[in-house]
Chains A and B, each alone.
Chain A
Amino acid sequence: MSHHLVEVKDLQYRYPDGTAALNGISFLLTHGEAAAIIGANGAGKSTLLLHLNGCLMPQTGEVRIGGLPLNKDTLAHVRRTVGMVFQDPDDQLFMPIVYDDVAFGPLNLGLPPAEVDQLVNASLATVGASHLKDRPPYRLSGGEKRAVAIAAVLAMSPDILVMDEPSAALDPKTRRQLIELLHTFKHTRIIATHDLDLVLDLCSRTIILKDGRVAADGPTLEILQNQELLDSCNLEKPLCLQGCPVCGAKSGAIV
């Protein structure tokens, strides 16, 4: 199923004010893979993600989604294939009620009303937000907003899901529910996050960014146990890989 492939080749990006945010990034993700993009603040994670659905266009290098190079002609197709959950749900929700917001994408795709209705209900149910259907989005809690934002993206039936810090500002239980939810997806998933425990739970592969470059790319367990590497990238071992502070025992029982 080549349409779930994500390939980035020597991607560079410089913001108009001169900040070099990406300095040559390359990787290839295959079908159904869940990859984490981690790195310090300002490492370039969000900038990278914005390239994956053409919110930013590559200045040098190339992005290929499902074998197609990202350019003006393929933009519509790419946006349909790649569902993007933004860092701040407030940026994403803008219709007066939740139902209409989730319907926004499918309607833009030109689907018939009956099908849209079904899609909206199904995706709200998937994220457990059916009861929020008639509420205005700006009156929801942070976690509810996040759930609705994810539903809005799911309703477009993307093949690839891209998320920028999905677990930020969630309470422990909601965060757990989100992780369970993401576990059930068969999509190719790309998650930029600072939540390394979530990475450990969810992603088999991890890419570390540092100053707009790939500092490491490999199996999550291997990377998150490399103390030296993590230190050099301003990161910290996830709690569950650290020794138990109470009894001093090393916990390594995670696989």
Chain B
Amino acid sequence: MGNIETSLLNIGYLETLSYQQTPLQRLDPRVKLLTTLVFIIAVVSFGKYEITGLIPFVIYPVALIAVGDLPPAYLARKILLAAPFAFFIGIFNPLLDRTILVHLGPVAISGGWVSFASIMLRFCLTVSAALILIAATGLNAVCLALDKLGAPRAFVMQLLFLYRYIFVLTDEALRLVRARALRSFQGRGLGLKVFSFMIGQLLLRTLARARRIHLAMLSRGFAGRIHLLRPLHLGGRDVLFLLGWSTLFVLLRWYNIPHLLGNLAAELIG
């Protein structure tokens, strides 16, 4: 129980990080959003057996974590929390795809395992980029950036509320889990039946609370848009950030640097 509590409640911490004053946090949200998108597209667009080409992309999250003073262990835990999804998407590949692709000495590795590894690697890269975007920007600012960049208003609103309600949902789930744990003894009351009641309860409670929150927002003049005090301002550093990283991603996507280096080394030796 303690584990769920700490891991879920700590989503809010991600937002808090965006208030640190480092060069990363000070960048214009639009620039960070676009760079993240380019990064994700570049990573996702690789072929399904690609591994070596993906590895240099690690530099982006690593650099941002360093500059933005973000806690790597915390981010890693958040990635682990979502990892099961990617795991189940990828885990059937080794069963379905048994053509041998690589020989590492005596060990033969099938295409399935390679693509599984590729999926997990891509998952880690994209999720960490997304988490870093939020930790460096805050979701409200990300939504503002989406809005400014011309994303449909309805979509931005959905995102804003979805995010807001994740907190509500985890909060309510936590209370339910705790209430049950306090009144269950020797495994009684922990069965599947109670669990299904709890899911129903969770939904109703979350809806009721979501409604109250929405009312509270309306009461304070909310009209479909979150305003932020810090004005958006596109400076030279912002443009440099966007162009610099994007160019790097495109290069890394087109030229497989580890391969090139390998070939170069082979040529030099040979």
Contacts and interface: CB of A to CB of B under 8 A. Distances in A.
B200 interface: no
Interface residues of B, number: 27
Interface string A62-94: 000000000000001001100110101011101
B229 A113 contact: yes
Interface stretch (B12-20, B22-30, B115-123, B250-258): B12-20
B19 A91 contact: no
Interface string A150-186: 0011001000000000000000000000000000000
A116 interface: yes
A50 B215 contact: yes
B148 interface: no
Interface in B210-238: 212-213, 215-223, 226-229, 231
Given A91-B209, A134-B19, A100 B228 contact: yes
A5 interface: no
A109 B222 CA distance: 9
A108 B223 contact: yes
A97 B164 contact: no
Contact of B229 (A50, A109, A117, A136): A117
Nearest to A95: B140
Given A50-B215, A103-B229, A96 B18 contact: yes
A136 B15 contact: yes
B138 interface: yes
Interface in B167-184: 167, 171
Contacts, number: 77
B223 to A, nearest CB: 6
Nearest to B17: A96
A76 B218 CA distance: 9
B221 A109 contact: yes
B217 A94 contact: yes
Nearest to B224: A108
Given A95-B140, A96-B12, A136-B12, A53 B219 contact: yes
Contact of A79 (B140, B209, B219, B228): B219
A137 to B, nearest CB: 9
Contacts of B12: 96, 136, 138-139
A63 to B, nearest CB: 15
- Grouping DSSP codes into helix (H, G, I), strand (E, B) and loop, the A interface class, with mixed when no group exceeds half, is helix
Output the residue of B18, B212, B226, B227 with the most chain A CB within 10 A.
B227
Nearest to B14: A96
A105 interface: yes
A79 B223 CA distance: 12
B142 to A, nearest CB: 12
Given A79-B221, A136-B15, A91 B140 contact: no
Contacts of B220: 79, 104-105, 108, 152-153, 156
Interface in B47-76: none
Interface in A108-162: 108-109, 113, 116-117, 134, 136, 138-139, 152-153, 156
B216 A91 contact: yes
A100 B216 contact: no
Contact of A97 (B16, B221, B227, B231): B16
A209 B252 CA distance: 71
Nearest to B222: A108
A183 to B, nearest CB: 24
Contact of A86 (B16, B216, B223, B226): B216
A105 B219 CA distance: 9
B10 to A, nearest CB: 11
Contacts of A97: 16, 19
Nearest to B226: A104
A100 B228 CA distance: 8
Contacts of B167: 94, 138
B221 A96 contact: no
Given A97-B19, A104-B217, 14 more contacts: A55-B218, A55-B219, A79-B220, A83-B219, A86-B215, A94-B164, A96-B12, A96-B15, A96-B18, A104-B222, A107-B228, A108-B223, A134-B19, A136-B16
5 nearest CB pairs, A to B:
A108-B221, A96-B15, A107-B227, A105-B220, A91-B212
21 contacts: A50-B215, A53-B219, A79-B218, A79-B221, A80-B221, A86-B216, A91-B213, A91-B216, A94-B164, A94-B217, A96-B19, A100-B229, A103-B229, A104-B217, A104-B226, A105-B221, A109-B221, A113-B229, A116-B229, A117-B229, A139-B12
